[in-house]
Amino acid sequence: MKKSILKQTEEYVQNEMGSDSTGHDWFHVDRVRKNALMIWKEEQAGDPFIIEMAALLHDISDEKLNSSTDIGQEKLDAFLQKATLSNLEKIHINQIIKTISFKGGQKVELSSVEAKIVQDADRLDAIGSIGIARAFAYGGKKGQPIYDPNISIRNEMSLEEYRNGKSTSIHHFYEKLLKLKDLLHTKTARKMAERRHQTMQLFLDEFFKEWNGQS
């Protein structure tokens, strides 16, 4: 039964997100799912079915990918309502998805080990080489410049400022991506993040050398 539900969920997510060009496509979702299951296997904590379901569905209701927060939530609720899941499973999956987003650095206390694992898995895909590629894909889609030294880095911001304030793709590294390593919950994810974090730092070092005509 659980394999059938997972298969149906995969198909639903592929149909919904297969053509996304912001770095939130099916391949992103699948990587998050794989990261989450790898963390679960190493940590031996949490319910792997809930973890996998939440990983698969984690971007369906995201306000970045929908015309409004309410419409995104309605989409997720409609899918969960039809799924052959217990009420407790639906509530748990929904709760995970509602609480794991970065949201400009606003801290939300996670209530379960499953939420911590899915959040770690999602954040791992936001850093490293793939994180670099996704940052520029998303910035380009939003119409942001690659870099503008006249724009200040925002250290703290509201969700509205995070979503709609003036920024650049390079600024996004300092406003979010470089912070993620220290926000991870599990030992496994923190270990996986080390090299990815270093990759971003090396990239930024080279970027600014080239920007300033030093190489």
Question: CA nearest 125: which of 36, 203, 63?
Answer: 36
Residue 120 pLDDT greater than 90, yes or no: yes
Question: Of 31-40, 149-158, 200-209, which gets the smallest average pLDDT?
Answer: 149-158
Task: Give the mean model confidence (pLDDT) for residues 173-188.
Answer: 96
| Predicted local confidence at residue 210, as pLDDT | 96
| Amino acid occupying residue 187 | K
- Give, in order, the Cα–Cα distances in Å from 104 to each of 21, 40, 202: 21, 27, 24
Task: Give the mean model confidence (pLDDT) for residues 109-119.
Answer: 92
| Predicted local confidence at residue 163, as pLDDT | 66
**pLDDT tier for residue 104 given thresholds of 50, 70 and 90:** very low
CA–CA separation, 22 and 46 (whole Å): 30
Tokens of 170: 């390079």
Model pLDDT for residues 4-63, shown as the tens digit of each residue = 999 999 999 999 887 788 889 999 999 999 999 999 999 999 999 999 999 999 999 887
Residue 194 pLDDT greater than 80, yes or no: yes
Task: Give the mean model confidence (pLDDT) for residues 195-213.
Answer: 97
Task: Give the mean model confidence (pLDDT) for residues 190-200.
Answer: 98
CA–CA separation, 166 and 115 (whole Å): 30
Tokens of 41: 């296997």
pTM score: 0.91
CA–CA separation, 90 and 99 (whole Å): 14
In 10 A of CB 160, how many CB atoms? Answer: 9
Furthest C-alpha separation in the chain = 60
Tokens of 54: 């939440």
The domains of the chain, with CATH numbers, are 2-211 (1.10.3210.50)
